[in-house]
Amino acid sequence: MIFPVASRSFLPALMSFFCLCSHVQATPLLALQESDQCGACHNPGRAQRPVLERRCTLDCQGCHVDPSGGGPRNQWGAYYEYDSLSMQNFFQPQDPLKDESRFDLHYDGRLIGRRSEGQSRSFPMNSEFSVRLRPLVTHLHLIWQAGFLGRPESRKIDYHNRELNRFSQKFSLMLDALPLNMYVRAFRGVPVYGLRRPNHSLWIRERTGLGQFAMTDALAVGGTPTVPFLHYSLMNGDPSAEPEDRQKGYSFHGGMRGVSYGWHVNGSLWRTRSRKNEVDMKAVGAGAKLPWVLLMAERNWRLVKPLQLSSAERQTLQSQTSDQHPSSVISEYTLALSGIRGMMPGIVYESLAGDGGVAFRKSFFLDLHPVPFLQFEFWRRYESGQRSLYDSLAVLRFYTSF
């Protein structure tokens, strides 16, 4: 989760984030980077598993408890975190198949510092607690997450004032590690759609309604049987939204990945409807790993269609407007350098076409993992088109596992 600061405040932005958590918000670029490294997820040279029991995958499900990516890591993600992600490691982690723990705890806390037009401000952005139970060690997962959001005018989060600090809860009951690495899941959270990004302010997440405030109750089924991957979610809408604003429908995300050159192609569909409008989205993407270079691209089409309502129907609505992102076409292209352990520099180019015109943005980034538990990110962004601006930001994260 990343927020901009003024271009003159690069050094004060160094403390833009402080994160004590069990995970780093990873990126599909890491999957590309490790596409041909079996030892990144388990002890090298281990005997092959039977075909129906294999879970080798380059999808988000490979490292994260949540198949949509982000959030707490599973035992394979924890192994990668300690063994291969950082420049320097201090111990050899346990092979995931030998992990017989029945529960784990996670805490994610972030502190933001921002300076704009000569003014600087720092405040706690969020505080999130997560608990995962594995009563059978394998297959069954029970997950609960509670989150609080801070406010710019407050120096601390008031855990007793849930309304002021926008308290939210996420739940998940999941059966996974089924044959062909399939899963079934009932959850409150974010459905799988498109390529997950760690930076929620990128247009292809923020302007498609899949940013930090996205929420829905849903049933999902999916899996990653090595090369192909597929995820289908049946959504019942955001429980915190007004009943007439709850978008109900389905989403689909699928494609194929390969070890050679880390190639992948993906496609996504989204069809939801509320009493006010319909939202149709589709996305296509691709990526590859070349010598020292990672390439990734995705394009999303979003169409919001207001429904024709009678005057009597409108009188029954609690709100006449709908908090929906408008129709748009968004493209994103990423190029990153690979091959340097614990460091990844790169550039992201974005374009957004909508009712307000066309906008473009170039972002240069540097991602550093010097040691386990620590990550730095630096961004420099230039935007043109509808508006002209540039900013700098920095991210500091500290994470651990229990």
Nearest to 334 by CA among 193, 198, 190, 228: 198
DSSP 105: E
Specify which residues 330 forms β-bridges with: 300, 352
Phi and psi dihedrals of 97, rounded to 5? -70, -15
Paired tokens of 20: 């004590």
Q: What is the pLDDT of residue 321?
A: 56
Say if residue 372's pLDDT is above 90: no
Give this prediction's pTM: 0.82
Distance, CA of 388 to CA of 214 (rounded, Å):
28
Asked, for residue 316, whether it belongs to a domain, the answer is no
Q: What is the pLDDT of residue 154?
A: 72
Please provide the DSSP assignment of 18-46 as one string: --EES-----HHHHHHTTT-GGGTS-TTP
Asked, for residue 120, whether it belongs to a domain, the answer is yes
Phi and psi dihedrals of 210, rounded to 5? -115, 30
In this predicted model, what pLDDT tens digit does every residue of 133-157 receive, in sequence order?
A: 999 988 899 999 888 777 767 777 7
Q: Which of 17-21, 81-85, 186-190 has the lowest mean pLDDT?
A: 17-21
In this predicted model, what pLDDT tens digit does every residue of 170-195 receive, in sequence order?
A: 899 999 888 888 899 999 998 999 88
Distance, CA of 55 to CA of 225 (rounded, Å):
7
Average pLDDT value over all residues in the chain: 78
Distance, CA of 346 to CA of 327 (rounded, Å):
29
Give the confidence band of 268 by pLDDT, cuts at 50, 70, 90: very high
Phi and psi dihedrals of 36, rounded to 5? -115, 20
Asked, for residue 78, whether it belongs to a domain, the answer is yes
Number of domains in the chain: 1
Nearest to 227 by CA among 259, 196, 201, 199: 259
Rounded to an integer, the average pLDDT of 26-37 is 66
Q: What is the CATH number of the domain that holds 351?
A: 2.40.160.10
Asked, for residue 317, whether it belongs to a domain, the answer is no
In this predicted model, what pLDDT tens digit does every residue of 373-401 receive, in sequence order?
A: 777 878 888 889 887 777 777 666 666 65
Say if residue 23's pLDDT is above 50: no
The separation between the first and the last C-alpha atoms of the chain, rounded to the nearest angstrom, is 22
Distance, CA of 128 to CA of 180 (rounded, Å):
32
Rounded to an integer, the average pLDDT of 313-340 is 77
Which amino acid appears at position 282 of this protein?
K
Q: What is the pLDDT of residue 8?
A: 38
Paired tokens of 289: 């790993």
Asked, for residue 318, whether it belongs to a domain, the answer is no
Contacts made by residues 344-351, CB under 8 angstroms, sequence distance 24+: 344/29, 344/33, 344/294, 346/29, 346/294, 348/202, 350/202, 350/203, 350/204
In this predicted model, what pLDDT tens digit does every residue of 300-318 receive, in sequence order?
A: 999 999 887 666 656 565 5
Asked, for residue 202, whether it belongs to a domain, the answer is yes
Asked, for residue 9, whether it belongs to a domain, the answer is yes
Q: What is the pLDDT of residue 118?
A: 59
Domain encompassing residue 25? 5-310+324-399
Q: What is the pLDDT of residue 61?
A: 76
Asked, for residue 315, whether it belongs to a domain, the answer is no
Which amino acid appears at position 187 of this protein?
F
Give the confidence band of 161 by pLDDT, cuts at 50, 70, 90: low
Distance, CA of 139 to CA of 176 (rounded, Å):
5
DSSP 167: -
